[in-house]
Amino acid sequence: MDIVSIGECMIEMFCEGSLSESRTFTKTFAGDAMNMLVAASRLGAKTGFITHVGNDPFKSFLLDAWTAEGIDLTCATPLDRNNGLYFISLLPGGEREFTYYRAGSAASCLSPDDIDPAYIGRFKFVYASGISQAISPSSRAAVKKAFEIACAQGVRTVFDPNLRLRLWSIEDARQALEEILPFTDILLPGAPDEIEQFLGVRDPEAAIRIVQDRGIETVAVKCGSEGVALGAEGKITCVPAYRPETVVDTSGAGDAFNGGFLYGLSTGMTPVEAARLGTVIAGLKVRGRGAVFSLPRREEVFERMR
């Protein structure tokens, strides 16, 4: 197995125009931990998801959709709670409007007791994000336990800070990052705002040096339309963004990069090659609506790579 992700997947309802005025919504699913998995799975990675699934009318829709993406659900266990739900619309000028209903969701009840060391040991990479930590104290503890187990078993750990100040304070986010960094092999932050909040710098290369001085081997700083600054194998490389013909929705583009990057590493690509793959899948994703709905398939990604 290649990549296992820990976190929450919600029902996504997206529409055109404002949420208050729209009459029609498209139902799909999304969540940073799942967005990354689908991106990697569509490229050919063997993936798994550690979460809880709510016992509500959306349960079968989620399980069927994840299974259709080829994701192993051994540790996606049911819980008598609701699944998280959010609404998103794209407004003129590229602005996005979000409304979330996720408090007390099934996935937020994940705890250290749900982390199976034997399952973790089956994978090359264990992935989590700041959102996986932020949704509840028990989920934060579950992420830490999973990373500790992975380190003990020689499984590489990957963390995306993915700062969301709607979920918690910057002080709590910084404490949680400090808690997980000693167990992190690959860090995937965003620039410039996220690295400034966590590291006090806006320059991606400065952020890479700070993080690598902490002992983290690989750092990919995502810079949106400017591409990725990659610190790996003793050097810093600027990997340009893949720019599609049109940009419709950037939701989940960073998650798409993460999935492509980890898939590339899992197949033996160099970090630079893997980062190039990540930028292509992210660039293709932003052409359409929805964080998962518009993720490209393997054939198109590798055709564009060529």
Mean pLDDT of 105-123: 98
- C-alpha to C-alpha distance for 248 and 92, rounded to whole angstroms: 11
For residue 15, which phi and psi values (nearest 5 degrees)? -145, 170
Structure tokens at 166: 């709607």
| Residue 21, number of CB atoms within 10 A of its CB | 9
What's the pLDDT score for residue 93? 65
| Residue 245, number of CB atoms within 10 A of its CB | 5
C-alpha separations of 40 from 138, 179, 210 in Å: 27, 27, 28
For residue 176, which phi and psi values (nearest 5 degrees)? -65, -35
What's the pLDDT score for residue 94? 63
In a domain, 112, yes or no: yes
Q: Residue 184 contacts by C-beta under 8 Å, 6 or more apart in sequence?
A: 147, 157, 158, 159, 216
- C-alpha to C-alpha distance for 30 and 95, rounded to whole angstroms: 19
Burial (0-12, 13-18, 19+ Cβ within 10 Å), 54: buried
Mean pLDDT of 51-65: 97
Residue 67: what residue type?
T
Average pLDDT, the chain: 96
Alpha carbon 284 to its chain centroid, in Å, reads: 17
One-character DSSP codes across 258-274? HHHHHHHHHTT--HHHH
Mean pLDDT of 182-208: 98
Say which of 32, 72, 160, 255 is annotated catalytic. Answer: 255
Over residues 125-160, the pLDDT tens digits come to: 999 999 999 999 999 999 999 999 999 999 999 999
In a domain, 231, yes or no: yes
* Beta strand extents in the chain (DSSP E only): 3-6, 10-16, 26-30, 47-54, 71-72, 76-79, 85-90, 96-101, 125-129, 156-160, 186-187, 218-222, 228-232, 235-239
In a domain, 236, yes or no: yes
Mean pLDDT of 193-217: 97
In a domain, 74, yes or no: yes
Q: Are strands 26-30 and 10-16 parallel, antiparallel or unpaired?
A: antiparallel
In a domain, 303, yes or no: no
Question: Can you give the CATH number for the domain in which 89 is found?
Answer: 3.40.1190.20
How many independent structural domains does the chain possess? 1
What's the pLDDT score for residue 90? 79
- C-alpha to C-alpha distance for 261 and 150, rounded to whole angstroms: 19
pLDDT band, residue 253 (cuts 50/70/90): very high
| Residue 298, number of CB atoms within 10 A of its CB | 14
In a domain, 302, yes or no: no
What's the pLDDT score for residue 1? 94
Domain that holds residue 19: 3-297
Residue 184: what residue type?
T
In a domain, 250, yes or no: yes
In a domain, 55, yes or no: yes
Annotation marks residue 249 as catalytic: no
C-alpha separations of 70 from 37, 73, 157, 220, 228 in Å: 10, 9, 22, 27, 28
CB 300 within 8 A of CB 284: yes
- C-alpha to C-alpha distance for 59 and 72, rounded to whole angstroms: 16
